Amino acid sequence: MVFSSVVFLYIFLPIMLLIYFIVPKKFKNAVMILASLVFFAWGEIRYIFIMLVLAVMDFWCGKKINQYFDDKKKKRKYLWINLGVNLFILFFFKYSDFIIANINSLTGLNIPLLNIPLPIGVSFNTFQSLSYVIDVYRGTVKYEKSFYNYLTYTTLFPQIIAGPIVRYEEVDEELEDKKISLDNFSMGMKRFLIGLGKKVLIANQVGALWNVIETGGYSELTTLLSWTGIIAFALQIYFDFSGYSDMAIGLAQIFGMKFDENFNYPYISKSITEFWRRWHITLGSWFKDYVYIPLGGNRRGLAIQIRNILIVWFLTGAWHGASWNFILWGVYFGIVLILEKAFLLKVLEKLPKIVGHIYSIILILVSWAIFAFEDLAKVVEYIKAMFINQSLYNSEALYYLKNYGFIIVIGIICCVPLWKKLKEKIDKKNSVVLETITSIGYVAILVLSTASLVTDSFNPFLYFRF
């Protein structure tokens, strides 16, 4: 993993960027496609064929829907073909063993598991493909006439493994006419480095602490250690996921494209409703536009709205992984959001803001305890350790707090827009000072990240399974 990361960052990526900027405009998409295929082959070469077949099918269905746009029956047929094939691929690779295991558990059968490796980024790729064909069906975007351009879109390697989910309408013009400039290159590189620093310097470090606590004995957890562990996991998953999103957004800007933001300081939220407007923004908007609103949204009465919210959050949980803890995690948030819509938001608005922050953080941390363990018994044990524990702390808890306290504090500080506000104040007074400080910061991130990647073998990728 370490060797692959170093080779990708310091050999493959620079060579690919050099070729990309040298070749004429009409060949830039070809370079991106080739780079994407090499990237996917690096991870799992046998699934490239599936990706290419699905790209051909999506393109063909979009073309047919456009051809029969005024014939509702025919265009609906091609929409269902596309939905059926894409969802079958997603379900087959991601949920087959989950379904088989549950059938075995309920019936006492012993059907062998398939043990099929999960294709890289299958969930993100499926949602992007579906959004394109559905939007063509709705008439909100024009179908792509060039398979060359569509293949560029559907294989975009910067974001296909960890988001953000990019809709065709956001990049259709840039597939043909990319906004390449030195400013975009500079800003994109800075954004990439921020993401790299988030992932390597924070997520990996707090992740090492969580890895130790996660694999320990939950019955022996003290209150302090259980809260330290779940805070570490909360920081790890945020900086891991938002770091990959930042790197994807940065690479896209270097290529002359613009991706939507995916995170907006979610841990400063004063309610769970606000949290989900700030966390994984592109996933939330996808479910809203393609599931919640088509089901009727909030237009058909309270009972239907509650049903729709539960469906969306059941699917959101299942999207994250083929395990009951993910489904429970999704339903947990669905229930909290229903309660907030019913009365909690009105109550929170009347209370001091700090109460909303504490309320949100506690519910979020409990959610991460559900998310972190596929074994529901471990979920229960861990949450009990957080709230119902006779042992407040011990020497082990103090040891880990002493060794990882600094990086936890750094992570918490980086979760709030402190630097953003400070930057705005400095910029108004002295832009030269700001430019000097940020330049030193970016160099430091690159040097420290490189050193960490070379020397540290702990480099997990939390969102690979999604």
Q: Which two tokens stand for residue 39?
A: 């990237």
CB crowding 95-104: b at 16 or more within 10 Å, else e? eebbeeeeee
What distance in Å separates the CA atoms of residue 312 and residue 315, rounded to the nearest whole number? Answer: 5
Alpha helices in 290-417 (DSSP H): 302-320, 324-339, 345-350, 353-372, 376-387, 395-414
What distance in Å separates the CA atoms of residue 194 and residue 183, rounded to the nearest whole number? Answer: 17
Distances (CA, A) of 309 to 130, 150, 277: 21, 33, 15
In order, the DSSP letters of 244-286 are HHHHHHHHHHHTT-------S-GGG-SSHHHHHHHSSHHHHHH
What distance in Å separates the CA atoms of residue 83 and residue 26, rounded to the nearest whole number? Answer: 32
Helices 147-154 and 28-44: crossing angle in degrees, nearest 10, is: 40
- Model confidence over 361-420: pLDDT tens digits? 999 999 999 999 999 999 999 999 999 987 888 888 899 999 999 999 999 999 999 877
Asked whether the predicted pLDDT for residue 131 surpasses 70, the reply is: yes
- Which pLDDT score is estimated for 203? 95
Asked if 97 contacts 137 with a C-beta cutoff of 8 angstroms, the reply is: no
What distance in Å separates the CA atoms of residue 78 and residue 57, rounded to the nearest whole number? Answer: 10
Q: Where are the domains of the chain?
A: 2-178, 184-465
Which of 154-158, 166-170, 400-404 is predicted least confidently? 154-158
Q: At 319, is the secondary structure helix, strand, or coil?
A: helix
CB-based contacts of 314: which residues, under 8 Å, 6+ apart?
Answer: 327, 330, 331, 334
Selected residue with higher pLDDT from 156 and 202: 202
What is the set of active-site residues? 320
Using pLDDT thresholds of 50, 70 and 90, give the confidence band for residue 3.
very low
What distance in Å separates the CA atoms of residue 201 and residue 459, rounded to the nearest whole number? Answer: 10
pTM value is: 0.92
Asked whether the predicted pLDDT for residue 2 surpasses 60, the reply is: no
- Which pLDDT score is estimated for 419? 79
Asked if 356 contacts 345 with a C-beta cutoff of 8 angstroms, the reply is: no
Distances (CA, A) of 221 to 228, 240, 458: 11, 25, 23
Asked if 41 contacts 33 with a C-beta cutoff of 8 angstroms, the reply is: no
What distance in Å separates the CA atoms of residue 303 and residue 363, rounded to the nearest whole number? Answer: 25
Which of 100-114, 144-158, 209-223, 226-240 is predicted least confidently? 209-223
Task: Give CA angle at 52 (49, 53), nearest 5°.
Answer: 85
Tokens 């480099």, located at residue: 459
Label residue 273 exposed, middle or buried (CB < 10 Å: 0-12, 13-18, 19+).
middle
259-287 average pLDDT score: 95
- Model confidence over 41-99: pLDDT tens digits? 776 677 788 888 899 999 999 999 999 999 999 999 999 999 999 999 999 999 999 99
Helices 395-414 and 204-214: crossing angle in degrees, nearest 10, is: 150
Average pLDDT, the chain: 89
CB atoms < 10 A from the CB of 393, how many?
15
Alpha helices in 117-265 (DSSP H): 122-138, 147-154, 157-160, 168-176, 182-197, 204-214, 223-254
Q: Which two tokens stand for residue 281?
A: 């923004």
Using pLDDT thresholds of 50, 70 and 90, give the confidence band for residue 36.
confident
Distances (CA, A) of 106 to 323, 331, 355, 374, 454: 15, 22, 44, 18, 47
Q: At 23, is the secondary structure helix, strand, or coil?
A: coil
- Which pLDDT score is estimated for 1? 47
What distance in Å separates the CA atoms of residue 226 and residue 80, rounded to the nearest whole number? Answer: 47
Strand segments, DSSP code E, in 78-133 are: none
Q: Which two tokens stand for residue 284?
A: 């939330």
Q: Which two tokens stand for residue 308?
A: 């729709």
CB atoms < 10 A from the CB of 221, how many?
24
Asked if 226 contacts 252 with a C-beta cutoff of 8 angstroms, the reply is: no
- Model confidence over 292-311: pLDDT tens digits? 999 998 888 889 999 999 99
**How many residues are given for the chain?**
466
